[in-house]
Amino acid sequence: MSDSPPATQAASPSAPSMTGEPDAARLGNPSFVWRSGQERRLAIIERYVSLRDRRVLDLGCGLGEYVRAFARRGARAVGTDIATDRLSEARDRVMTTATRGVNGFLAAAGESLPFHDAIFDLVVLNEVIEHVNDDRQTLREVARVLRPGGTCVLFAPNRLFPFETHGIYWRGRYIFGNIPFVNWLPNALRNRLVPHARAYRHADWARLTSGLPLRIVDQGYVYPGFDNIEARSRPLANVVRNVCYWAERNALQRFGLSHLVVLRRDEVAP
């Protein structure tokens, strides 16, 4: 298989030539606080890997909220990101909360991780792979740093979700927000509006992992946590959650917010 991105993806996130491109477009928004949506994703991760005494890498860790959560579950957790200001705040949060089990934060791109081979039991990419310059090379690096039998859990934007959550560029101006039906447009139009973040189809993961020592052991979809709705009305949030989480168990899952892809490193030493 060619190492070029699948045709259904957006252009490289480095493609826009917009001056002063905001971090929300270039890197996505990190988890600023720990809420029920994050707690739910943590529980999903724990379906596949017990975190206690595991070496865990959060690739694209942002402010380190998941790194600290992994550490609270007994993991030895490390975070990487390319945004040094976010890493600085992540370190400050660890110091403030005195979280044990956090092994540090490093500035690194997903395509070139500063770790020895086969040292992590788990690598997590939570809404990150759509922003890297080369998603296949990033997965190649994930395979390299995972121990044989190790697991990668990733969440990534779903092309069938009715809203584009990364905002769009319109006439040279970045418009942030949940823009309806952008992801349903033909590739050429969608990628002109959203050149800064990919969105994936179901078949893309088999293509991206073809030839790599990574097996897809589970593949599904997740809907949002709806924490913003809960902030306004908890009863309404509960209704919306119940409907959407029911949809995750049937054919409507294909319209979920994000892909959930679980990869297992082949039991062969690198």
Spatial separation of the C-alpha atoms in residues 122 and 69, rounded to whole Å: 14
| Per-residue pLDDT at 98 | 80
- Give pLDDT, residue 29: 66
Q: Can you give the C-alpha Rg of the chain in angstroms? A: 18
Per-residue model confidence (pLDDT) at position 15? 39
State yes or no: pLDDT of 269 exceeds 90: no
Residues 124-161: tens digit of each pLDDT: 999 999 999 999 999 999 999 999 999 999 999 999 99
Each residue's pLDDT tens digit, 202-235: 999 999 999 999 999 999 999 999 998 999 999 9
* Length of the chain as a residue count: 270
> Treating both helix axes as pointing N-terminal to C-terminal, what angle do 36-48 and 65-72 enclose, rounded to 10 degrees?
50
Tell me what pLDDT residue 23 has. 65
Of 98, 101, 63, 55, whose CA–CA distance to 80 is shortest?
63
**Domains of the chain as residue ranges with CATH:** 23-265 (3.40.50.150)
Tens of pLDDT, residue by residue over 81-126, are: 999 999 999 999 999 888 889 999 999 999 999 999 999 999 999 9
Closest CA to 13 of 24, 77, 80, 3: 24
Contact 38, 65 (CB under 8 A): yes
Q: What DSSP character marks residue 82?
A: S
DSSP string for 112-175: S--S-TT-EEEEEEES-TTTSS-HHHHHHHHHHHEEEEEEEEEEEEBTTSSEETT-EEETTEEE
Tell me what pLDDT residue 19 has: 42
Query: In angstroms, what CA-CA distances link 77 with 29, 151, 178?
Result: 21, 14, 32
Is the Cβ–Cβ distance between 149 and 177 less than 8 Å?
no
Quote the CA–CA distance of 211 and 209 in Å, as a whole number. Answer: 6
